[in-house]
Amino acid sequence: MKAFIALEFEKLLANFKTMAADPGLSDNIVGAVELCVESLRAGGKVMFAGNGGSAADAQHWAGELVSRFYYDRPGLAAIALTTDSSILTAIGNDYGYDYTFARQVEALGRTGDVLVAISTSGNSPNIIRAAEAARARGVAVVGFTGEGGGKLAPLSDICFRVPSTETPRIQEGHEFIGHLLCALVEAEMHPREAN
């Protein structure tokens, strides 16, 4: 077990070292923050969607914006499309699981909003349909994928491709970038007052 733990730490550190060395990553983070801030300042919202662990990330990041991240400030308009069991089961029953997020984007998305679409493979059918629905409505798409990007990458205005093919490593990278996104959106929307 200790050997496995040590190997997992090595893989985590190697992945983050690769991410830190990518000069485009910081540019993409700044770009994603700017998309979200522009939307929020115009009265728009940030929608989050993902499956499984990525659904947990969607809920986590929406919670960071609506509640708080580093400090107290007014809430920010964000929603996880993964949380309403009645909506999810109705859409799944009436249209099929592939439409669980697209239908919500059709109902809630407005031009100028942002969809944060999370799929470690970049190929989750319900995420792809949501991204397509977003683009059709003038909703910006920020994709979170693994190294290949999958079908989600070309549908994204900005795509974070964590440089790994292992789901746990991809999710760890997503969590770090998601936290940066939340922290920077919070700081841009409501700068912390100097003490």
pLDDT tens per residue, range 95-139: 999 999 999 999 999 999 999 999 999 999 999 999 999 999 999
More confident residue, 85 or 193: 85
Report how far apart, in Å, the C-alpha atoms of 41 and of each of 35, 38, 50, 65 are. 10, 5, 25, 14
- Residue 41, judged by CB atoms within 10 A of its CB (0-12, 13-18, 19+), counts as exposed
Q: Confidence class of residue 62 from pLDDT cuts 50, 70 and 90? A: very high
pLDDT surpassing 90 at residue 2: yes
Q: Confidence class of residue 38 from pLDDT cuts 50, 70 and 90? A: very high
More confident residue, 51 or 192: 51
Q: Read off φ and ψ for residue 57, nearest 5 degrees.
A: -65, -45
Question: Whole-prediction pTM value?
Answer: 0.96
Distance CA 142, CA 116 (A): 5
What's the token pair of residue 16? Answer: 């983050």
What does the DSSP 8-state code read for residue 142? E
Give residue 20's pLDDT. 96
Residue 166: CB partners within 8 Å, gap ≥ 6? 11
Q: Each residue of 11-34: pLDDT tens digit?
A: 999 999 999 999 999 999 999 999
What percent of the chain has pLDDT above 90?
98
Distance CA 62, CA 66 (A): 6
C-beta separation of 54 from 120 below 8 A = yes
